[in-house]
Amino acid sequence: MFTTPERGARSSGRTVVLTAAALVTAVLSVAAVIAGNRVWQGAPYPTVDPDAVAQRIKDRSDWVYEGFALSGKYAASPGTVATGSCYYRGLRSVAHIDQPRDDVYSFGLGWSVPDVPEATAEEAQRRVRGRLEQQGWKVSYEGDRSGATFRERGYRFLSPDGSDKVDVRWNTSTTTLFVSVYAPCGQVPDGFSGYNWPAARWSPKERAAGS
CATH code, domain carrying 159: 3.30.2030
Q: What is the reported pLDDT for 34?
A: 44
**Are the C-beta atoms of residues 118 and 138 closer than 8 Å to each other?**
no
Q: How far is CA 57 from CA 41, 63, 94, 98, 187, in A?
A: 29, 10, 32, 27, 17
Cα–Cα distance for residue pair 178/88, rounded to 1 Å: 31
Q: Check whether residue 18 and residue 116 sit in a common domain.
A: no
Q: What is the reported pLDDT for 208?
A: 46
Q: How far is CA 191 from CA 80, 82, 96, 195, 198, in A?
A: 20, 17, 22, 12, 15
Q: Tell which wins on pLDDT, 41 or 162.
A: 162
Q: What is the reported pLDDT for 147?
A: 87
Q: Tell which wins on pLDDT, 10 or 106.
A: 106
Q: Check whether residue 104 and residue 154 sit in a common domain.
A: yes
Q: Tell which wins on pLDDT, 57 or 210.
A: 57
pLDDT band at 148 (very low <50, low <70, confident <90, very high): confident
Question: Per-residue pLDDT tens for 85-132?
Answer: 999 886 655 655 778 999 999 999 999 999 999 999 999 999 999 999
Q: Check whether residue 56 and residue 126 sit in a common domain.
A: yes
Q: Check whether residue 31 and residue 77 sit in a common domain.
A: no
Question: Per-residue pLDDT tens for 162-193?
Answer: 899 999 999 999 999 999 999 999 999 999 99
The per-residue b/e assignment along 177-197, b for 16 or more CB within 10 angstroms, e otherwise, is: bbbbbbbbbbebeeebebeeb
Asked if residue 84 is part of any domain, the answer here is yes
Q: How far is CA 62 from CA 99, 121, 138, in A?
A: 34, 17, 20
pLDDT band at 25 (very low <50, low <70, confident <90, very high): low
DSSP per position, the chain: ---HHHHHHHHHHHHHHHHHHHHHHHHHHHHHHHHHHHHHH-SPPPB--HHHHHHHHHHHHHHHHHHH---TTSPPPPEEEEEEEEE--TTHHHHTTT-EEEEEEEEEEEEEE-S--HHHHHHHHHHHHHHHHHTT-EEEEE--EE-SS-EEEEEEEE-TTS--EEEEEEETTTTEEEEEEEEEEEEPPTT--STT-GGGEE-PPP--TT-
Q: Check whether residue 80 and residue 137 sit in a common domain.
A: yes
Of 188, 186, 157, give the one whose Cα is nearest residue 63: 157
Q: Which amino acid is at 33?
A: V
Number of domains present in the structure of the chain:
2
Point out the least confidently predicted range of 26-40, 63-77, 110-124: 26-40
Question: Is pLDDT above 50 for 28?
Answer: no
Give the residue numbers spanning the domain of 37.
1-41
Asked if residue 211 is part of any domain, the answer here is no
Asked if residue 207 is part of any domain, the answer here is no
Q: Check whether residue 122 and residue 184 sit in a common domain.
A: yes
Q: Which amino acid is at 209?
A: A
Q: Check whether residue 24 and residue 92 sit in a common domain.
A: no
Q: What is the reported pLDDT for 15?
A: 59
Q: Check whether residue 35 and residue 128 sit in a common domain.
A: no
Asked if residue 169 is part of any domain, the answer here is yes
Question: Is pLDDT above 90 for 151?
Answer: yes
Q: Check whether residue 114 and residue 10 sit in a common domain.
A: no
Q: Tell which wins on pLDDT, 206 or 113.
A: 113
Q: Check whether residue 54 and residue 93 sit in a common domain.
A: yes
Burial of 129 (0-12, 13-18, 19+ CB in 10 A): middle
Q: Check whether residue 29 and residue 57 sit in a common domain.
A: no
The mean pLDDT of the chain is 83
Q: What is the reported pLDDT for 12?
A: 60
Q: What is the reported pLDDT for 89?
A: 83
Asked if residue 104 is part of any domain, the answer here is yes
Asked if residue 123 is part of any domain, the answer here is yes
Q: Check whether residue 31 and residue 92 sit in a common domain.
A: no
Asked if residue 93 is part of any domain, the answer here is yes
